[in-house]
Chains A and B, each alone.
Chain A
Amino acid sequence: TQLLEQSPQFLSIQEGENLTVYCNSSSVFSSLQWYRQEPGEGPVLLVTVVTGGEVKKLKRLTFQFGDARKDSSLHITAAQPGDTGLYLCAGAINTNAGKSTFGDGTTLTVKP
C-alpha cells in the first residue's frame, strides 16, 4: 500500500502553461519534502515543509503543505523545458522519523 499517492502520474504540457502536482496521504507527516530527479541521476531536494498550512515559494515553484499535514501540492507557473523531470514527494511519519516514504512520482514533460 502506497502511503503517499501522487497525481497525475504523467503530465505533458506546452512551455508557458501552469500545472499542479498533488501528493496525498491518509497519514499525518511530521515533514514533507519535494525532490526532482533527472534521468541517470539521484533525486535532488527542492523544498521541505513542516508546518500545516505552510506555503513556500522557489522562483516559479510554489509548495503547499495541507493544514492537517496529510497532503501537499507543487504548483509551477509558466513551465519551461528545463522543468522536465520526475517530481517526487517524500515524508516521514512522527512515530518513526527514520523511515522515509516516497510517492510514486509525477513525470513532467514540458515541450518547447
Chain B
Amino acid sequence: EAQVTQNPRYLITVTGKKLTVTCSQNMNHEYMSWYRQDPGLGLRQIYYSMNVEVTDKGDVPEGYKVSRKEKRNFPLILESPSPNQTSLYFCASSAYSGVVYNEQFFGPGTRLTVL
C-alpha cells in the first residue's frame, strides 16, 4: 500500500531534550516536506527536499533540522525543543515534476507536546 508513515504518532517531551520524528514513504517520490499545523494557521512549511541530499528552508525553519540521506526517509530533528514547538506535524511526499507540483501525500501526523 502506497503510504507515508510517521513515528511517533504522539510524543510528550521536556524542553531541551533532543528528539527526532521519522518520516518514510514507499512511493519513490523525489519531493518530501515537513509542515506544522496550529489552530487558525493552516499548515506552515518547515523544510522541504527536492531530492536526496537537497534540502531547503520553508517558512518556519527556526529550531528544526532535516536530512535526506535516502530517497524514502526525511527525518525532522528538534535539537533543543521549546514549548512553542508544541504542534501537530505532518510529513508529505510528492512525485515532483517541474514547475507544477503533483499531489502531496500526507502522513497521519505527529502530535508533539513540549513541556
A interface residues (Cβ-Cβ under 8 A, vs B)? 2, 4, 6, 9, 30-31, 33, 40-45, 48, 50, 88, 90, 92, 94, 97-105
| A-B CB proximity, top 6 nearest | A42-B106, A104-B42, A102-B43, A45-B103, A102-B42, A31-B100
* A-B CB contact pairs (8 Å), 6 listed: A31-B101, A42-B90, A45-B104, A97-B101, A98-B31, A100-B33
Tell me which of B41, B58, B109 contacts A104 (CB under 8 A).
B41
Assess whether B74 is interfacial by the CB under 8 Å rule. Answer: no
- Give the chain B neighbours of A105 by CB distance below 8 A: 40, 42
- Give the chain A neighbours of B4 by CB distance below 8 A: 42
Assess whether B86 is interfacial by the CB under 8 Å rule. Answer: no
Determine how close the nearest CB of chain B comes to the CB of A27; give it in whole angstroms: 13
What total of chain B residues lie within 8 Å of the partner, measured CB to CB? 29
- Give the chain A neighbours of B56 by CB distance below 8 A: 98-99
Known contacts A40-B109, A92-B101, A97-B99; can you find 18 more A-B pairs with CB under 8 A? Answer: A9-B40, A40-B108, A42-B4, A42-B92, A42-B106, A42-B108, A43-B104, A45-B103, A88-B42, A94-B99, A97-B96, A97-B101, A98-B56, A98-B96, A99-B59, A100-B33, A102-B44, A102-B45
- Give the chain A neighbours of B40 by CB distance below 8 A: 9, 104-105
- Give the chain B neighbours of A103 by CB distance below 8 A: 42
Tell me which of A6, A43, A101 contacts B106 (CB under 8 A).
A43
Q: How far is the CA of A88 from the CA of B37 in the complex (A)?
A: 12
B59 touches A101 (CB 8 A): yes
Q: How far is the CA of A17 from the CA of B41 in the complex (A)?
A: 27
Q: How far is the CA of A40 from the CA of B96 in the complex (A)?
A: 26
- Give the chain A neighbours of B58 by CB distance below 8 A: 99-100
Determine how close the nearest CB of chain B comes to the CB of A39; give it in whole angstroms: 10
Given A42-B106, A43-B106, are A100 and B42 neighbors across the interface (CB < 8 Å)?
A: no
Assess whether B112 is interfacial by the CB under 8 Å rule. Answer: no
B100 touches A97 (CB 8 A): yes
